[in-house]
Amino acid sequence: MNLPLYILAAGTNSQITYIWEKATIEAKVIIVFLVIFSMFAWSIMVSKSLQMRRARRLNDLFMSEFRAQKAVLDIHDRRVQVEGCPLFIVYQEGCMETDARLKQPDGSRKKHVSLKSMEHIKRTMESAVAREALALESGIILLALAVSGAPFLGLLGTVWGVMDTFAGVAQAGRADLAAMAPGVAAALITTVAGLLVAIPSMFGYNWLVHNLRVQTVELDNFAQELASKLETEFLKDD
């Protein structure tokens, strides 16, 4: 789905077709660039929305399973794999580090770990939280660029087109509405294209950033809950 492309290519709208024909080559290049930019922005919005929706669903399922287990390492010991679940990745990283600290040369597990080892486990989980937050955030910067840059590109095309129009009027020595209107109208189409890119990107960006913050807070809260359970179960009472 690409709104600027749809509007500019609609053959039933004779006014837009006429304005497109009157646009300068610079305006057409800017509009084509904005159309491509819009395609990337829409693809990011759709893909990140699906990614966050899937992550939220898997997180809910994993939390139900996590809180139902008796021991904190039960899911890890069953070798369960949950692809695309940020909470599971944090859990897996914490459990792998805990398991490595508990392992003895004969393959058995110690009952407790030291405070220093627990601090290493916490830092491992914090790193996992940061990596998952960055993975969810990847690509969103393109929407921020669309929101801030597209209107200015459109304005550049408009100013350029108006400049060309006035230059043509000055050369022709005739300043009437019939001579100026087509050029000005063609120049304004780049601003319209820029806004058609920026407005959906703005709504999409704000929605995605809100969901990203919610999921990042959930990751932090889960890491703290997991650390608390690991301390309760494995930390020595020194």
Q: State pLDDT tens for residues 104-133.
A: 777 777 888 888 888 999 999 999 999 999
Q: State pLDDT tens for residues 163-198.
A: 877 777 767 666 666 656 667 777 788 888 899 999
Q: What's the burial of 226, exposed, middle or buried (CB within 10 Å: 0-12/13-18/19+)? A: buried
Whether the pLDDT of residue 12 is over 50: the answer is no
Whether the pLDDT of residue 8 is over 50: the answer is no
- The mean of the pLDDT values for the chain is 84
Closest CA to 203 of 146, 162, 134: 146
Torsion of CA 75, 80, 82, 85, to 10 degrees: 20
Distance CA 8, CA 38 (A): 13
* Overall average pLDDT of the 151-164 stretch: 85
Whether the pLDDT of residue 153 is over 80: the answer is yes
Distance CA 94, CA 126 (A): 9
Q: State pLDDT tens for residues 71-115.
A: 888 888 888 888 889 999 999 999 999 888 888 777 777 888 888
Distance CA 98, CA 22 (A): 69
Distance CA 192, CA 186 (A): 10
What pLDDT score was predicted for residue 176? 60
Task: Parse the chain into domains and list their residue ranges.
Answer: 3-234
Predicted confidence band of residue 13 (pLDDT cuts 50, 70, 90): low
Task: Characterize 155-184 residue by residue with b for buried, 16 or more Cβ atoms within 10 angstroms of its Cβ, and e for exposed.
Answer: ebbbebbbebbeeeeeeeeeeeeeebebbe
Whether the pLDDT of residue 41 is over 50: the answer is yes
